[in-house]
Chain A
Amino acid sequence: MFDTARLADELDQMRARLRQLSAAARELKLPSGPATPHEELWRSGTARLYRYPAPDGSEGPPLLVVYSLVNRPDILDFTPQRSVLASLRETGSSVYLLDWGRPASGDRHLALEDYIDGLLYDAVAHIRHRHGGAPVALLGVCQGGTLSLCYAALYPEHVRGLITLVTPVDFHAGNASLYHLSKYVDFDRFVDAYGLVPANLLNVAYVGLKPFRILSQRYVDMLDIAEDPTALADFMRMEQWMYDSPDQAGEAFRQFAKRFYQDNDLVHDRLSLAGRPVRLSRLSMPVLNIYARDDHLVPQASALALGEHVPADRYRSIEFRGGHLAVFVTRRAHTQLYPAVGDWLRSLPAASA
């Protein structure tokens, strides 16, 4: 059944390509930071608020991008050609990014209310102040979308429009692998033991969902791009980003794991933050829900559950063909998805203070 001579020959070729790839990669100069010019506007603790000014200096309605706590937002701005932040700037909005930073040991007590009703509240207040008190549009990415939903439900008057990008809403819906794996974990004991939850433990959990794709196929496919320096540089940036995750503040992690993943409190109207109920029925602004069709981290059904909580006349969803990360880095996302986001943003009622 096997042509061993042919297999051995192919293997030799692959080894040669790996050597070629390794040599080419060592010659590469990776970009040393974010691709889009920006300035720091405000900081509090580990969090930073960045502004991405339009090249012509114009100011549009404010759009705040809220990233997840579990990875770094660098993926939004790898290269000028594939920068989510640059694409959003093209929509005519004044773009801001809230970077949560990297919690250190002393931040282990940061809870979700500190993130949502503290840092996010203050970042929105800062932006509103810059824009004469006008409400902002929020674009929440993955877990950042869930945090944005909570904020918009607490302060609907501050939010002009809400975009959720690959965002989990119903944590038990669809092929909910992360819920499944977290079902029997005692997160109280876990957080008590670790304090600050090590990023590498979370990476093991994420990689464990697709170990063959992430730990094997990626490196086989990598051999096909040995002669393409741009593709190789993109691959290496992604590789760098994947394992460059921050540790997690224990209290916020405990709350998110128990109340969102295990108890699914958000969709069952049982969630409260600092004693205040968080009800999705309070989302009074237009909502654009973007989900990825082949997302293994946030199943379609989990994201689409948002549609059950927002009246149809204010709700729109966009399905993107691809996986969780495809919405950030694929050419199609930048030629099709973000222009559609721009159309939606421009359709929002004019902001007034």
Chain B
Amino acid sequence: MKDTADLTAILDRLFQEGQRVLADFAALAEQPVADGDMTEDVLERLREQSRRYFEDMKRQWQDQAQPWIAMLRAWAQLSDGATPAELMMAPMAWWRPTDHNAASSASDTSRQHRVEAAAAELAAARDDYLAQLQQAAEGAIERFAAALRALDSPPSLRQLYQLWLTAAESAYEEVLASEEFAQATGRLTNAWSELLLILQEDLDGMLRSTGLPTRRELTETQAQIHELRREQRRRERELRADLDALRARLDAAELQPSPPKAPARRAAPRKRAPGDV
């Protein structure tokens, strides 16, 4: 993170962010002089910008999810439930006895249904979430309008910005704190998770068919390694405890005064016990 490349990236981001913020200012400051109520002109322009922004956002999000959903749909529909890898193997199907009765099973239909349901839920969740944000944006414009109408002298650019910031923040935080926004956030997150999981299952099926390790297998292997690490930690801890106990006994033994030395005696030979060898 400390190299020049990253520093350049930060500088570029700073410059872009600065340009973006100034562009927002420009939308206000470079408003052409009109004969009518300029405040209303500015507000109408902001409303128009907001509408365009959310339309663009909706399109962008659709575009992002579209390839995945299209791929999942294609797999589910074209293969009648089979994965692409199974389709690839179709020319070799002559060696497998065909079970005509098993064609188009209930699970194939449920797979297609699951993809369609996930795609529909993602679209609905996205619209729901964006509607909440749009509500915040509209609220911000109305609050900004009220603040502008209350002005008794022309504001500086920074004052104008502070008015906008205060209005936008308060409108957004009101929406953020609503139960509807929490539900929309949860719904969108859950919809993405569901789509990812379906995609991973399909990819795993494809990998399995081609003899490659699947995500599930990798996860299981990682879990096993993790358990081994835990076991190693448990053993190290036991060893350390044993070592500490031994050290403590040794220290205690060294601290005890040595008993007076008795005159050396020749040890009597021990009697052999039965079984001694």
The chain A residues found within 8 Å of chain B, CB to CB, are 1-4, 6-8, 10-11, 14-15, 18, 21-22, 25-26, 30, 32-33, 44-45, 105-106, 108-110, 114, 118, 121-122, 125, 175, 177, 180-186, 189-190, 192-195, 208-213, 215-217, 219-220, 222-223, 236, 239-240, 244
**Residues of B contacting A121 in the complex (Cβ-Cβ under 8 angstroms):** 237
**Residues of B contacting A184 in the complex (Cβ-Cβ under 8 angstroms):** 182-183, 185-187, 190
Contact between A110 and B31, CB atoms less than 8 A apart:
no
Query: Residue B29 at the A interface, CB < 8 A?
Result: yes
Alpha-carbon distance between A38 and B251 when the two chains are bound, in angstroms? 33
**Residues of A contacting B225 in the complex (Cβ-Cβ under 8 angstroms):** 106
Across the interface, A222 reaches (CB within 8 A) one of B18, B181, B185, namely B18
Contact between B182 and A181, CB atoms less than 8 A apart:
yes
Alpha-carbon distance between A8 and B30 when the two chains are bound, in angstroms? 6
Alpha-carbon distance between A15 and B99 when the two chains are bound, in angstroms? 73
Indicate with 1 or 0, residue by residue over B176-193, a CB within 8 angstroms of chain A CB atoms.
Answer: 110001110111011011
Contact between B193 and A109, CB atoms less than 8 A apart:
no
Alpha-carbon distance between A225 and B27 when the two chains are bound, in angstroms? 24
How far, in Å, is B173 (CB) from chain A's closest CB?
Answer: 9
A sample of 27 inter-chain contacts (CB < 8 A) reads: A3-B154, A6-B154, A6-B156, A7-B156, A10-B157, A10-B158, A14-B22, A14-B157, A15-B22, A21-B14, A22-B11, A22-B15, A30-B2, A109-B223, A175-B177, A177-B176, A177-B177, A181-B185, A183-B182, A183-B186, A185-B185, A186-B186, A189-B193, A195-B219, A216-B24, A219-B14, A220-B21
**Residues of B contacting A240 in the complex (Cβ-Cβ under 8 angstroms):** 1, 6-7, 10
Binds A, one of B109-117, B194-202, B254-262: B194-202
Contact between B18 and A21, CB atoms less than 8 A apart:
yes
Alpha-carbon distance between A291 and B186 when the two chains are bound, in angstroms? 29
**Residues of B contacting A18 in the complex (Cβ-Cβ under 8 angstroms):** 15, 18-19, 22
For the complex, would chain B's binding face be called helix, strand, loop or mixed by DSSP majority?
helix
Query: Residue B144 at the A interface, CB < 8 A?
Result: no
Q: A15-B22, A114-B230 in contact; A4/B29 too (CB < 8 A)?
A: yes
**Residues of A contacting B22 in the complex (Cβ-Cβ under 8 angstroms):** 11, 14-15, 18
Within 8 A of A (CB), among B1-54: 1-2, 6-7, 10-11, 13-15, 17-22, 24-26, 28-33, 38-39, 42
Query: Residue B169 at the A interface, CB < 8 A?
Result: yes
**Residues of B contacting A217 in the complex (Cβ-Cβ under 8 angstroms):** 165
Query: Residue B89 at the A interface, CB < 8 A?
Result: no
Alpha-carbon distance between A184 and B158 when the two chains are bound, in angstroms? 39
For the complex, would chain A's binding face be called helix, strand, loop or mixed by DSSP majority?
helix
How far, in Å, is A159 (CB) from chain B's closest CB?
Answer: 18
Indicate with 1 or 0, residue by residue over B239-260, a CB within 8 angstroms of chain A CB atoms.
Answer: 0100000000000000000000
Alpha-carbon distance between A195 and B230 when the two chains are bound, in angstroms? 19
**Residues of A contacting B31 in the complex (Cβ-Cβ under 8 angstroms):** 2, 4
How far, in Å, is B264 (CB) from chain A's closest CB?
Answer: 39
How far, in Å, is A202 (CB) from chain B's closest CB?
Answer: 12
